[in-house]
């Protein structure tokens, strides 16, 4: 939902057709109901399964809250309605509460109770807050390139390792580029170029099966995985990294500290 808001706001800026902005506002209004008062606040995972009785999720995700902070800030800017910043600050506050100074990393979020921190280490929970939250790339600099998640010439999805995750490695490369670490970013982009297929697409991973460390909700006995197949998200993030474009801000820069 947060990414849909960011996409609609981008279309609003590009076309001047405010129906896109209005659609983003409706989505933002729907998301408000998932703001939590438990633990460190923030927003829960929404729902899973089908109407009319979907399962309400109580867990919270650092990555999701980073996305939502950017989306709500974008709504405030696009509409001039500063009340959206209340929601943005709630998401940011949760993200800050997930920081682990001794580790130099963010917890992935909470467990099912919505309060206990889940200390599992996942790549997007490290990179996305820095791309999305004003000042985070300076305040949480240690999260920028997690050595614990390095795998070969790039980065794995999580501490489960076992291969290079193309879109995640592109996210790190983008973050490094926007932070002025061009040579380091270029090395990761070279590794990503090796993931390009003959038809111009990009493989999701360089191994047959890349574990995420999470299990499928539809079948808790089976792990969530990426595979060595062409993947739209991989293509999209490679394109974003090559253009040095920050989707969270709609600019070629990190969000500025207030």
State whether 34 and 138 are in the same domain. yes
Measured distance CA(14)–CA(240) in Å, rounded: 17
- pTM of full prediction above 0.85: yes
State whether 17 and 99 are in the same domain. yes
State whether 94 and 108 are in the same domain. yes
Does some domain include residue 253?
no
User: How do beta strands 99-100 and 105-106 pair?
Assistant: antiparallel
Residue 238's Cα: distance from chain center in Å? 15
State whether 17 and 130 are in the same domain. yes
Domain finish residue from 143, 168, 187: 143
Q: In this structure, what token pair is assigned to residue 227? A: 């595979």
State whether 139 and 174 are in the same domain. no
Does some domain include residue 254?
no
> Among 140, 145, 103, which residue's Cα sits nearest to residue 120?
103
End-to-end C-alpha distance for the chain, whole angstroms: 25
pLDDT tens digits, the chain, 258 residues: what are they?
A: 999 999 999 999 999 999 999 999 999 999 999 999 999 999 999 999 889 999 999 999 999 999 999 999 999 999 999 999 999 999 999 999 999 999 999 999 999 999 999 999 999 999 999 999 999 999 999 998 778 999 999 999 999 999 999 999 999 999 999 999 999 999 999 999 999 999 999 999 999 999 999 999 889 999 999 999 999 999 999 999 999 999 999 999 999 886
Measured distance CA(134)–CA(39) in Å, rounded: 23
Domain finish residue from 80, 114, 143: 143
Structural domain range at position 164: 145-246
Domain finish residue from 143, 160, 189: 143
State whether 202 and 222 are in the same domain. yes
CB 166 within 8 A of CB 153: no
Does some domain include residue 12?
yes
What is the count of structural domains for the chain? Answer: 2
The reported pLDDT for the residue numbered 197 is 97
CB 123 within 8 A of CB 188: no
Does some domain include residue 123?
yes
The DSSP letter of residue 57 is P
State whether 128 and 181 are in the same domain. no
């Amino acid at each position: 939902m947060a990414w849909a808001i960011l996409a609609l706001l981008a279309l609003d800026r590009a076309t001047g057709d405010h129906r896109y902005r209005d659609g983003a506002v409706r989505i933002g209004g729907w998301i408000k109901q998932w703001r939590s008062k438990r633990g460190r606040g923030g927003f829960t995972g929404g729902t899973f399964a089908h109407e009319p009785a979907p399962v309400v999720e109580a867990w919270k995700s650092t990555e999701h809250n980073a996305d939502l902070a950017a989306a709500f800030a974008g709504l405030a800017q696009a509409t001039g309605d500063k009340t959206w910043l209340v929601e943005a600050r709630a998401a940011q506050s949760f993200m800050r509460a997930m920081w682990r100074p001794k580790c130099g990393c963010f917890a992935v979020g909470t467990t099912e109770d919505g309060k206990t921190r889940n200390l599992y280490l996942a790549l997007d929970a490290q990179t996305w807050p820095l791309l999305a939250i004003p000042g985070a790339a300076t305040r949480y600099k240690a999260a920028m390139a997690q050595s614990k998640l390095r795998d070969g010439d790039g980065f794995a999805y999580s501490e489960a390792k076992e291969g290079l995750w193309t879109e995640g490695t592109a996210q790190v490369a983008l973050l490094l580029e926007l932070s002025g670490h061009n040579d380091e970013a270029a090395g990761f982009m070279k590794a990503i170029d090796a993931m390009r297929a003959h038809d111009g697409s990009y493989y999701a991973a360089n191994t047959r099966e890349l574990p995420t460390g999470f299990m499928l909700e539809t079948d808790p006995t089976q792990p969530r995985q990426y595979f060595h197949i062409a993947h739209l998200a991989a293509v999209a993030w490679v394109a974003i990294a090559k253009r040095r474009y920050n989707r969270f801000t709609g600019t070629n820069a990190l969000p500025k500290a207030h």
